[in-house]
């Protein structure tokens, strides 16, 4: 592999190099790929290197010859290896690199790819003309393509192949070793089901079950109209259109009389006959009568069942623990259940009893990756608000009128969903916005990002334009990499892949170690945030400071304070009424009126991004609210009486 190392410095140094007129070029047509013989592409390459040479880290750029377009991605199954694709417009190749950017599989022309995930293991298979590559989380194994063909997806470490010498089916393990072969050529396919059991396809659409030596468990054959499953020492199967179960020796342990069936969990399996569901045990006894319209697996001794779209909980004796009166039941990661009835949600413990909470929440969800904290939503003053709380219901983040997502114990992501205009195709008309928040719920960046990407070691990838304009934030909300890249991928090894390119399709991929020093870089300032009665407000356009006065979009703040708003386009005048109070302001004018009395403004209303901005303090106090300023957090705190 040819490679070139260059040096990246700070964002501030980039700004000194790039004039305002060239910033747009950087974000859109920044960097050309390594296009042999193209003078314009070469000039763009040199310009890009001149710009990013000053960012402060050593970057290795991938270069495998006359390719002008490179793209890096995960392999689709979280193996820890990354797929590097390259093309010159007429031909393409794919290579694999590890999380440190080292080449582990040389570029090759692959004709097909498949990925699978089962039993905690991810596997990708890349099929070429004379070789097959098995990519797992442990290693990459090459299979001789002159010996095997038709390599399919893995399941629990096994894949079906065709042995080229005999055209018979076989099974390979993840080391590429042939562990089972149909030497008599009786079967058209072999599938691994789990627990050492294989399904062998027979002509006519029937299957036999084999042990790991290839010996049939029974002379009986089973239909193909259902996915075979092995669980808890049993095989779920179908025969002549009916469903039942076998043990691992091939003995039928339940009659094949059911119209539908699921696998065993905690010793019981949901089965259906004549449109009604119940549960059978492994002796074939229907221990819970078939009386339900829907039934789920048992977990922690409980199962969700439904009649007429109303859900409840039963125990393993069939006792109704929670009445059939909920619109839906969601099992939480910690074994609790969230029962939804209309717009209200109730959190239930393992006995089906409501978990006692001090407040009335419309939604509660526990995050299994956090330390017991939970996410709650409720309605306040007719407004939906949300926050993260600890196990004792202490509010950790403050209440927000937008959604929060847990990243780590130090960081959250705030999201305001957009609305698709009629007939609009996502994502480009989807006006979603993201901001980064610290552990106390302080807004670190403002809602200025349209999408987000990888998160590792408290670094977060963000996008300025949906899927382009990628940058990198640290835990303080500082853009340690500006949003000028086509893509950024973080690896568990502490490295980052960056993709840069232009509008002509030229693109390059580089890899570098993310410096530990980037973790401590502080953001230059906090965005201005506005809290009304303890709830952080969301503005379509961020509040700004003019003449030391906080300016906010007028309609949002007026409506939040309970005022009605009228706009006179001919005079560019806005009138707000709340009770006996009437305020009137005019764009560009320092004169405002409160109940007809003229007041001189220090900051005049203006229009920005098609929104009218007005002075927050004047509006809030004029409508009877108390206003305070927290300079340390750049926060306006409004309290109404």
**pLDDT score recorded for residue 399:** 96
**pLDDT score recorded for residue 287:** 97
Please tell me the least confidently modeled range out of 99-103, 110-114, 208-212. 110-114
Share of the chain above pLDDT 70, in %: 85
What tokens appear for 415 in the block? Answer: 């999201």
321, 305 contact by CB (below 8 A) = no
SS (H, E, C) 564-591: EEEEECCCCEEEEEECCEEEEEECCCCE
Residue 34 forms part of a structural domain: no
10 Å Cβ neighbour count for 70?
A: 24
Among residues 277, 295, 323, the one where a domain terminates is 323
Residue 362 forms part of a structural domain: no
Contacts of 72 (CB under 8 A, 6+ apart): 82, 83, 84, 85, 97, 487, 489, 497, 499, 509
Over residues 478-492, the mean pLDDT reads 91
68, 89 contact by CB (below 8 A) = yes
What tokens appear for 77 in the block? Answer: 């199954």
CATH code where residue 598 lies: 3.30.457.10
Beta-bridge partners for 255: none
Residue 228 forms part of a structural domain: yes
Contacts of 16 (CB under 8 A, 6+ apart): none
**pLDDT score recorded for residue 484:** 86
Over residues 587-608, the mean pLDDT reads 91
User: Does the pTM of the predicted model rise above 0.75?
Assistant: yes
291, 275 contact by CB (below 8 A) = no
What tokens appear for 39 in the block? Answer: 């003078």
**pLDDT score recorded for residue 41:** 41
More confident call, 52 vs 285: 285
What tokens appear for 334 in the block? Answer: 């910690």
pLDDT tens column, 227-247:
677 889 999 999 888 999 999
- Determine the Cα–Cα distance for residues 472 and 523; give it in Å rounded to an integer: 12
**pLDDT score recorded for residue 426:** 63
- Determine the Cα–Cα distance for residues 591 and 199; give it in Å rounded to an integer: 83
Distances (CA, A) of 82 to 109, 295, 358, 459, 497: 16, 40, 47, 19, 10
Please tell me the least confidently modeled range out of 13-17, 132-136, 333-337, 483-487. 13-17
Over residues 304-329, the mean pLDDT reads 93
The per-residue DSSP string of 471-484 comes to EEE-TTS-EEEEEE
User: What are the φ and ψ backbone dihedral angles of 556, each rounded to 5 degrees?
Assistant: -60, -50
Over residues 566-583, the mean pLDDT reads 90
At 39 the three-state DSSP class reads: helix
Contacts of 428 (CB under 8 A, 6+ apart): 466
- For residue 45, pLDDT over 60 is answered with no
- Determine the Cα–Cα distance for residues 601 and 497; give it in Å rounded to an integer: 51
Residue 91 forms part of a structural domain: no
Contacts of 312 (CB under 8 A, 6+ apart): 304, 305, 306, 320, 321, 322, 323, 324, 325, 326, 329
pLDDT tens column, 463-474:
998 888 899 999
Number of domains making up the chain: 2
Residue 563 forms part of a structural domain: yes
Among residues 292, 323, 354, the one where a domain terminates is 323
Structural domain harbouring 120: 110-323
145, 105 contact by CB (below 8 A) = no
**pLDDT score recorded for residue 116:** 66
Please tell me the least confidently modeled range out of 82-91, 270-279, 453-462. 82-91
Contacts of 482 (CB under 8 A, 6+ apart): 11, 14, 471
Beta-bridge partners for 638: 532, 627
Please tell me the least confidently modeled range out of 277-291, 398-412, 446-460, 612-626. 612-626
- Determine the Cα–Cα distance for residues 641 and 629; give it in Å rounded to an integer: 18
Confidence of residue 35 (pLDDT cuts 50, 70, 90): very low
Place of tokens 């707000």: 576
CB neighbour class for 500 (10 Å; exposed up to 12, middle 13-18, buried from 19): buried
- Determine the Cα–Cα distance for residues 346 and 403; give it in Å rounded to an integer: 19
Over residues 379-404, the mean pLDDT reads 91
Mean pLDDT (the chain) is 83
Over residues 261-269, the mean pLDDT reads 95
- For residue 573, pLDDT over 70 is answered with yes
Residue 615 forms part of a structural domain: yes
**pLDDT score recorded for residue 610:** 84
95, 84 contact by CB (below 8 A) = yes
Residue 33 forms part of a structural domain: no
Over residues 416-422, the mean pLDDT reads 76
pLDDT tens column, 5-29:
444 433 343 333 333 323 322 332 2
- For residue 77, pLDDT over 60 is answered with no
CB neighbour class for 475 (10 Å; exposed up to 12, middle 13-18, buried from 19): buried
Residue 554 forms part of a structural domain: yes
Over residues 93-116, the mean pLDDT reads 84
Q: How, if at all, do strands 635-640 and 529-532 pair?
A: parallel
Please tell me the least confidently modeled range out of 261-265, 283-287, 607-611. 607-611
Place of tokens 């999408």: 451
Among residues 308, 323, 338, the one where a domain terminates is 323
- For residue 595, pLDDT over 50 is answered with yes
Residue 259: alpha-carbon gap to chain centroid: 36
Please tell me the least confidently modeled range out of 155-169, 257-271, 281-295. 155-169
């Amino acid at each position: 592999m040819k490679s070139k190392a260059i040096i990246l410095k700070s964002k501030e140094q980039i700004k000194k190099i790039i004039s305002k007129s060239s910033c747009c070029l950087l974000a859109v047509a920044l960097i050309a790929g390594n296009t042999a013989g193209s003078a314009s592409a070469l000039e763009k390459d040199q310009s890009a290197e001149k710009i990013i040479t000053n960012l402060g880290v050593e970057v290795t750029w991938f270069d495998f010859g006359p390719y002008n377009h490179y793209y890096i991605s995960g392999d689709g199954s979280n193996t820890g290896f990354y797929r590097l694709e390259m093309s010159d417009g007429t031909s393409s190749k794919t290579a694999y690199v590890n999380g440190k950017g080292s080449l582990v599989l040389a570029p090759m022309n692959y004709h097909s790819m498949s990925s699978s995930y089962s039993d905690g293991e991810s596997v990708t298979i890349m099929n070429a003309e004379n070789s097959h590559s098995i990519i797992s989380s442990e290693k990459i194994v090459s299979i001789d393509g002159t010996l095997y063909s038709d390599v399919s997806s893995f399941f629990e470490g096994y894949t079906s192949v065709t042995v080229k010498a005999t055209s018979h089916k076989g099974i390979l393990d993840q080391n590429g070793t042939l562990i089972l072969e149909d030497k008599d050529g009786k079967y058209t396919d072999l599938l691994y089901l789990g627990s050492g059991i294989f399904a062998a396809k027979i002509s006519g659409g029937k299957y036999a079950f084999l042990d790991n030596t290839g010996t049939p468990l029974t002379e009986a054959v089973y239909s193909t109209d259902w996915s075979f499953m092995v669980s808890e020492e049993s095989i779920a199967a179908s025969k002549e259109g009916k469903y039942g179960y076998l043990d691992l020796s091939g003995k039928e342990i339940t009659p094949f009389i059911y119209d539908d069936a699921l696998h065993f969990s905690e010793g019981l399996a949901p089965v259906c006959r004549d449109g009604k569901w119940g549960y059978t045990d492994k002796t074939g006894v229907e221990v819970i009568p078939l009386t339900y319209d829907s039934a789920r697996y048992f977990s922690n001794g409980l199962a969700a069942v439904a009649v007429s779209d109303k859900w409840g909980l039963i125990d393993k004796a069939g006792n109704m623990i929670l009445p059939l009166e909920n619109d839906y039941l969601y099992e939480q990661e910690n074994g609790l259940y969230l029962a939804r009835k209309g717009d209200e949600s109730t959190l239930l413990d393992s006995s089906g009893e409501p978990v006692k909470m001090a407040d009335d929440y419309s939604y509660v969800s526990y995050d299994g990756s956090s330390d017991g904290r939970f996410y709650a939503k409720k309605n306040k003053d007719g407004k939906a608000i949300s926050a993260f709380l600890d196990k004792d219901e202490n509010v950790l983040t403050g209440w927000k009128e937008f959604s929060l997502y847990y990243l780590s114990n130090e960081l959250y992501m705030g999201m305001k969903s957009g609305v698709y205009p009629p007939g609009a195709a996502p994502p480009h008309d989807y006006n979603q916005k993201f901001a980064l928040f610290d552990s106390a719920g302080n807004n670190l960046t403002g809602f200025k990002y349209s999408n987000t990407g990888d998160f590792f070691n408290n670094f977060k990838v963000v996008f300025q334009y949906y899927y382009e304009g990628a940058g990198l934030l640290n835990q303080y909300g500082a853009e340690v990499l500006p949003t000028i890249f086509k893509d950024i991928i973080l690896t568990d090894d502490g490295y980052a892949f960056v993709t840069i390119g232009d509008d002509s399709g030229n693109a390059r991929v580089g890899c570098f170690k993310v410096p530990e020093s980037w973790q401590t870089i502080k953001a230059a300032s906090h965005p201005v945030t506005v809290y009304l009665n303890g709830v952080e407000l969301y503005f379509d356009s961020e509040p700004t400071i003019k003449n030391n006065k906080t300016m906010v979009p007028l309609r949002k703040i007026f409506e939040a304070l309970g005022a009605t708003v009228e706009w006179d386009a001919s005079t560019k005048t806005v009138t707000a009424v709340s009770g006996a109070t009437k305020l009137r302001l005019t764009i560009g004018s320092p004169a405002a009126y409160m109940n007809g009395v003229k007041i001189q403004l220090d900051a005049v209303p203006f229009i920005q991004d098609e929104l009218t901005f007005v002075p927050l303090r004047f509006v809030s106090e004029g409508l009877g609210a108390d206003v305070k300023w927290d300079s340390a957090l750049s926060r306006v705190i409004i309290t109404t009486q």
